[in-house]
Structures are given as C-alpha cells and as structure tokens.
Amino acid sequence: MEAAVLYCGARRTAYCQELLETNGFRLTQICAAGEDSQMARMGILLSKNQLLLILGPEHNGEPTFGKPFFRALHVPTLDENPQGILVLHGKGCIGWLIESREQAVALLPDRPEHLQLLLPELWLRLCKKFGLSMPEIQKSAVNYEQAVERDFSGKE
C-alpha cells in the first residue's frame, strides 16, 4: 500500500524507513517536521495520500507526540488518552490508528523493534478498510534491536 511518512522528532528514521519498505509499504512521500510545522506538513501529506504514518518519540513503548495530532484531527481525549480510535498492540508497545471514511493516520513509535511488533495488526486493519491482501513480508537482514543498541552505544 502506498503511504506517506511524517517523522516528528524521530531519531531512527533510516531503520524505520527500511522496516516499513520491507513490510509492504510503498513510501510516496517522506517528510520530517519540527513542532512548529507538524500540522502544516500533516495537512499537505493528507491532501495527497490515503495513508499517513507518523513516527516519533516514545516512552515505555507508547508514542509521546500524539497530543497535537489528536487535537488537530478532533480525536477526543480523556486524561490525555485518545478515545474512539483503534489502539494497535505489540508486546510492550502501542500505536494508534485514526480513521476517516477514506483515509487513515497511524501514530507509531520510532523504535524499529516496537514498530515491527505493531505492523501486523496495522496491516490487518488496513487490509479490511481498503480491501487489500496481506503483503509478502521480506525478511530483513538487519536485527534492528542490535543495530540501534550498537548505534546509540557508540561501539562498532
């Protein structure tokens, strides 16, 4: 499925991009945005794409950047938790899927090891919503957890 990607404060963009591509997404547009331009970028990407994947920082496996997007997309919140949207579950992590009749926006953590756990549930919902079949998943040669640990530890 074609998708646009918006990185908001994400730090592991190359790993995440490779993971998305090897898991069946054809990335049509890829943008990064600071806090001051996130909503404008989101609007531009949504005007041209059915699916927008927004990746950003997480804490304990939960994205920490969702609040302004929930507000902009009119998602009600209770105690800062979104209500009425699909929660994507992975072992030790979550993401969110906001849907309209013809579009979807996924808010996902930028940790590849968490992203990898959320993609199967995301794909199941997208297949149902858009009438798709499950993609053939390419096995990545990269162990993302080890690669991220190596990169952030400063060791080669």
- The model's pLDDT over 64-86, given as tens digits with 9 standing for 90+, comes to 999 999 999 999 999 888 999 99
Choice among 4-8, 33-37, 46-50 with the minimum mean pLDDT:
33-37
pLDDT value at position 154?
67
CB atoms within 10 A of CB 86: 17
Give the tens place of pLDDT for each residue, 94-143.
999 999 999 999 999 999 999 999 999 999 999 999 988 777 665 555 66
Domain boundary assignment for the chain = 2-153
Model confidence pLDDT, tens digit, residues 13-29? 999 999 999 999 999 99
Task: Judge whether 45 and 31 are in contact, CB under 8 Å.
Answer: yes
Distance CA 138, CA 142 (A): 11
Contacts of residue 87, Cβ cutoff 8 Å, sequence gap at least 6: 94, 95, 96
CATH architecture entry for 2-153:
3-Layer(aba) Sandwich (3.40)
Q: What is the pTM of this model?
A: 0.85
